[in-house]
A and B are shown apart, each in its own frame.
Chain A
């Protein structure tokens, strides 16, 4: 009888642990495919904004995406959150390094976002980032959405690179007959890179709202945990008998959520 009961409980425990392991182990896969920050969505929301302003859509350029990916990898490798790396690498170093010969180029950065729409909204809220999003100088765009560890935290980094490729580069790909015909000297302006200035906090931006929600969640969580703990302490001290759940584990679960929220950053653009 005892043996049978023990087997049943061991089976139940193992089942719970197995389900927990499977569900949690599935997370990296889910992150790879179901994360809400997607290149296609970022492109869609960026172009939607441009359409509203009567501007042409930007087309996705693989070389710019390659440059954005190189920049994101460099940020993770050298552990910095800036347009210029500690070793002095500028955004255009990645753009030209990827083989994109530009006349105009720009870069927007974002970190700790869960949704593509929030990322584009946050850029749109900042005047300097909006200048990049809504610039008529660009006709192409590239993105990188990469997971990694930045300044001691696991995070998702989003790099958006804009560009207008030098016409000569395109001519190089044309048939030689056309090339000869068009190989007259053309006046080409010097390359220009637009780097957004730091965001000012005067506007109630998407990031401000998201961080306000985070602080409200933290305050509510701490208040509830404190309330339950005081109630638990009072009930224990006065010896009141009541039907209730296990308060210690309620507090533990709430504390885990609070610590998780505390540990997580949300919504930062540069």
Chain B
């Protein structure tokens, strides 16, 4: 029973993340302005860190390194988006 409940929660967590990504992609496509598109990716990246803490906290695998990993991936996504959407320039 406990294992079943655990699986249910983990799958719900995955579902929440996929739905969030899907909503972000939908709004990204519907947004005309690159600044708005960048904003959507920033929100999604920040939510990804929150999701990482939630998911790894629940599965008792939350560690400083894991937190750093999620923050790093989010930072990379924000940086790539800023470069790719013309918010900042490489040179």
Is residue A203 contacting chain B, with contact meaning CB distance below 8 A?
Answer: no
Would you give the shortest CB distance from B62 to chain A, in whole angstroms? 10
* Chain B residues within 8 Å of A24, by CB: 23-24, 27, 40, 43
Question: Are B83 and A217 within 8 A (Cβ)?
Answer: yes
Q: How many residues of A contact B (CB 8 A)?
A: 62
* Chain A residues within 8 Å of B87, by CB: 114
Question: Are A245 and B69 within 8 A (Cβ)?
Answer: yes
Return the contact of B29 from the options A147, A154, A213, A245 (Cβ within 8 A): A154
Question: Are B43 and A20 within 8 A (Cβ)?
Answer: yes
Task: Name the CB-closest residue of A to B46.
Answer: A23
Question: Are A257 and B36 within 8 A (Cβ)?
Answer: no
* Chain B residues within 8 Å of A261, by CB: 80-81, 84-85
Report A1-59 residues with CB < 8 Å from chain B CB: 2, 5-6, 9, 12-13, 16-17, 19-21, 23-24, 27-28, 30-31, 34-37
Which secondary structure dominates where chain A touches chain B? helix
Question: Are B80 and A217 within 8 A (Cβ)?
Answer: yes
Question: Are A17 and B25 within 8 A (Cβ)?
Answer: no
Question: Are A9 and B12 within 8 A (Cβ)?
Answer: yes
Is residue A113 contacting chain B, with contact meaning CB distance below 8 A?
Answer: yes
Is residue A220 contacting chain B, with contact meaning CB distance below 8 A?
Answer: yes
Return the contact of A114 from the options B25, B74, B86 (Cβ within 8 A): B86
Return the contact of A213 from the options B5, B38, B55, B88 (Cβ within 8 A): B88
Task: Name the CB-closest residue of B to A206.
Answer: B89
Is residue A230 contacting chain B, with contact meaning CB distance below 8 A?
Answer: no
Complex interface bits, A108-142 against B, C-beta within 8 A gives 1, otherwise 0: 00001111001000000000000000000000000
Return the contact of B37 from the options A12, A245, A264 (Cβ within 8 A): A264
* Chain B residues within 8 Å of A149, by CB: 32
If A24-B40, A253-B21, A257-B81 touch, does A31 touch B47 (CB 8 Å cutoff)?
A: no
Task: Name the CB-closest residue of A to B64.
Answer: A243
Q: Please measure, in the bound complex, the distance between the C-alpha atom of A23 and the C-alpha atom of B50, giving whole angstroms.
A: 15
Is residue B3 contacting chain A, with contact meaning CB distance below 8 A?
Answer: no
* Chain A residues within 8 Å of B73, by CB: 245, 250, 253-254
Question: Are A245 and B52 within 8 A (Cβ)?
Answer: yes
Return the contact of B80 from the options A34, A155, A220 (Cβ within 8 A): A220
Question: Are A266 and B85 within 8 A (Cβ)?
Answer: yes
Is residue A252 contacting chain B, with contact meaning CB distance below 8 A?
Answer: yes
Question: Are A257 and B80 within 8 A (Cβ)?
Answer: yes
Report B32-65 residues with CB < 8 Å from chain A CB: 32-41, 43-45, 47-48, 50-52, 54-56, 61, 63, 65
Give me 6 A-to-B residue pairs in the complex whose CB atoms sit less than 8 angstroms apart, sorted by A's number: A16-B51, A34-B35, A209-B89, A253-B45, A261-B85, A266-B85
